[in-house]
Amino acid sequence: MSQTPKIWRELDEWIRHRLRAIQLKQRKRGPTIYRELRALGASSQSAGNVAASSYSWWRNSLFELNRALDLAWFDRLGLVRLS
C-alpha cells in the first residue's frame, strides 16, 4: 500500500493516455482510424473527429478517443490498474 494514492492515479491516467496515443499512431491514416474506431463501438461523429485530425495523436487520445478506448477496454486487455 502507498501513502500517495494521487500519484499512482495520475501515473495510471498518463499510462493509459500514452497507450491510446500509441494506438492512434499505429493506425497512421484517417480511413483506417475511422474503421477501427467504428469496430470498437465509437459513434460515427467521434470516429470522424479523430480520423479528421489523424496526426494529433496526443491531443486526440485525451478527448475523443477516451470514449472508445475506455477503462473497460483496458480491463479486457488485462492491463492492471495502479490506483
Task: Look at residue 30 and tell me if it is in a domain.
Answer: yes
* pLDDT tens by residue, 9-43: 899 889 888 888 888 888 878 888 888 888 888 88
C-alpha cell at 63: 478527448
Number of domain units in the chain: 1
* pLDDT tens by residue, 63-80: 777 777 888 888 888 888
Structural element, H or E, at residue 70: none
State pTM to two decimals. Answer: 0.77
Task: Look at residue 83 and tell me if it is in a domain.
Answer: no
Q: How many CB atoms lie within 10 A of CB 8?
A: 13
> Phi and psi for 42 in degrees, rounded to 5?
-75, 150
* pLDDT tens by residue, 41-57: 888 888 888 888 767 77
Task: Look at residue 31 and tell me if it is in a domain.
Answer: yes
CA angle 3, 66, 73 (to 5 degrees): 80
Q: Which residue has the higher pLDDT, 59 or 20?
A: 20
Domain enclosing residue 50, as ranges: 5-77
Task: Look at residue 36 and tell me if it is in a domain.
Answer: yes
Task: Look at residue 53 and tell me if it is in a domain.
Answer: yes
Task: Look at residue 82 and tell me if it is in a domain.
Answer: no
CA distance 40 to 69: 8
CA distance 14 to 12: 5
